[in-house]
C-alpha cells in the first residue's frame, strides 16, 4: 500500500480531542469497562491475550491505538463479539 493511500485510510481516536487535558489510565479504564460487561459478553483472559499479541505485531498499532478503527486495542479486545477491522483476529 502506498504511503499516501495508507495515510488517508488511518483513523485516530476522537477521545484525544475530548479528553486531551484529562490524564487517562487506559488499563484501569479497560478493567472498569470489562467489569461492566455481562459475563457472556466478556472475552476472557486467554482470548484477550491472544488478540493483544496479534495487535502488538500489527503495523496498524500505534502505541496501543488501532489506526484502522481508531480504538484502543485493549478496549477493542475485551468484548467476545468484537472483531479486528482488518480481520486479523475475531
Ligand atoms: S485491531 Fe486489528 S488492525 Fe487494529 S491493531 Fe489490532 S490487529 Fe491491527
Average pLDDT by stretches of 10, the chain with 90 residues: 58 59 77 93 96 97 92 93 96
Residue 82 resides in a domain: no
pLDDT recorded at residue 4: 56
Confirm whether 52 is domain-assigned: yes
Q: What does the pLDDT read at residue 43?
A: 96
From the CA of 51, how far away is ligand 1's center (Å)?
Answer: 8
Is 87 inside a domain boundary? no
* 90, part of any domain: no
Residue-level pLDDT at 17: 58
Residue nearest to atom 4 of ligand 1 (CA): 66
Residue of 79, 89, 66 lying closest to 13 (CA atoms): 66
The number of distinct structural domains making up the chain is 1
Within a domain: residue 85? no
Tell me the C-alpha distance between 12 and 15, whole Å.
9
Task: Please give the model's pTM, rounded to 2 decimal places.
Answer: 0.78
Report yes or no on 84 lying in a domain.
no
d(C-alpha 31, C-alpha 10), whole Å: 27
Cβ of 76 less than 6 Å from ligand 1: yes
Residue 25 has a pLDDT of 82
Structural domain harbouring 73 = 3-77
Q: How much is the pLDDT for 34?
A: 93
Amino acid at each position: 500500500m502506498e504511503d499516501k493511500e495508507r495515510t488517508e485510510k488511518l483513523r485516530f481516536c476522537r477521545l484525544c480531542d475530548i479528553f486531551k487535558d484529562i490524564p487517562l489510565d487506559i488499563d484501569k479504564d479497560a478493567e472498569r469497562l470489562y467489569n461492566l460487561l455481562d459475563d457472556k459478553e466478556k472475552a476472557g483472559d486467554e482470548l484477550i491475550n491472544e488478540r493483544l499479541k496479534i495487535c502488538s505485531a500489527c503495523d496498524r498499532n500505534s502505541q496501543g491505538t488501532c489506526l484502522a478503527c481508531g480504538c484502543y486495542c485493549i478496549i477493542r479486545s475485551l468484548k467476545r463479539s468484537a472483531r479486528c477491522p482488518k480481520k486479523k483476529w475475531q
